[in-house]
Amino acid sequence: MIAAPSVLSLDYSRMKEQVDELNASGAQWVHFDVMDGHFVPSLTFGPEILKGFRAMSDLVMDVHLMVTDPMHFSDIFAKAGADLITFHIEAVENEEDVRKLAAHIHELGCKAGISVKPKTPVETLRPYLNDFDLFLIMSVEPGFGGQKFIPESAQKISDLKAMLKESGSQAVIEVDGGVNGETAKICAEAGADVLVAGSYVFKNDIRRAVESLCVLQ
Ligand code: DX5
Ligand code: ZN
């Protein structure tokens, strides 16, 4: 299992110390939640913060765009050092634009991901199974850390797993929201490959929490 700690929950009064712990923790990715105050009510990080993380860490920078204009923001965050850029299907109007954006992210030299909110069926992803490197299932409403895992997400993960297998896609499934030691097992069983965890990692012993995710199959 790949662990992607979400730095939304990092304690910024102890940033250096926590990033050092993260680097030593066995986490392979860092999950970076970009919120624009419009697609979701909260406002988070700009590109300068990502550059700062890039300078402090060699981990894979996994950028999750919760923004209304993902085309614009993918340029900005690719330049700032993102390895992987995921946008929301709900922010894009039609199939053509979804494909254009996937191709654009690839042209920028990044891997491309697409995400669905809890109420968006995984069926909406079917046309794009071979266009993306990553599919992100939101297991809480996007916008805030510290929410409870929505149990119906497990079915969405296993349905998506079956769809990807059937299409021959090598893409990975990432799950984001309310992941802790218990819900992580549910996600792993359903077929998740990458687990995002904010509160669970940063409100506990970072190394131990990360380890508990990485050991899952
Ligand atoms: C929610 C974010 C998540 C969030 C997860 O909009 O996308 O990445 O940080 O936080 P926890 O793990 O606390 O639910
Ligand atoms: Zn996220």
- Average of pLDDT values for 97-111? 98
DSSP 105-168: HHHTT-EEEEEE-TTS-GGGGGGGTTT-SEEEEESS-TT-SSPPPPTTHHHHHHHHHHHHHHHT
Q: How far is the CA of 203 from the centre of ligand 1 (A)?
A: 13
Confirm whether 133 is a catalytic residue. Answer: no
Asked if residue 35 has its Cβ within 6 Å of ligand 1, the reply is no
Kindly indicate the confidence band of residue 61, based on its pLDDT and cuts at 50, 70 and 90.
very high
* pLDDT tens digits along 120-161: 999 999 999 999 999 999 999 999 999 999 999 999 999 999
Residue 34: what pLDDT? Answer: 98
Confirm whether 58 is a catalytic residue. Answer: no
* pLDDT tens digits along 6-20: 999 999 999 999 999
Q: 214 — phi, psi (to 5°)?
A: -65, -30
- Average of pLDDT values for 36-43? 97
Kindly indicate the confidence band of residue 79, based on its pLDDT and cuts at 50, 70 and 90.
very high
Provide the whole-model pTM.
Answer: 0.98
Mean predicted lDDT score pLDDT of the chain: 97
Asked if residue 179 has its Cβ within 6 Å of ligand 1, the reply is yes
Asked if residue 147 has its Cβ within 6 Å of ligand 1, the reply is yes
Q: How far is the CA of 67 from the centre of ligand 1 (A)?
A: 15
Q: How far is the CA of 178 from the centre of ligand 1 (A)?
A: 7
Kindly indicate the confidence band of residue 55, based on its pLDDT and cuts at 50, 70 and 90.
very high
The proportion of the chain whose per-residue pLDDT surpasses 70, expressed as a percent, equals: 100
Residue 24: what pLDDT? Answer: 97
Minimum-distance ligand 1 atom for the alpha carbon of 42 = 6
Residue 187: what pLDDT? Answer: 98
Asked if residue 33 has its Cβ within 6 Å of ligand 1, the reply is yes
Asked if residue 178 has its Cβ within 6 Å of ligand 1, the reply is yes
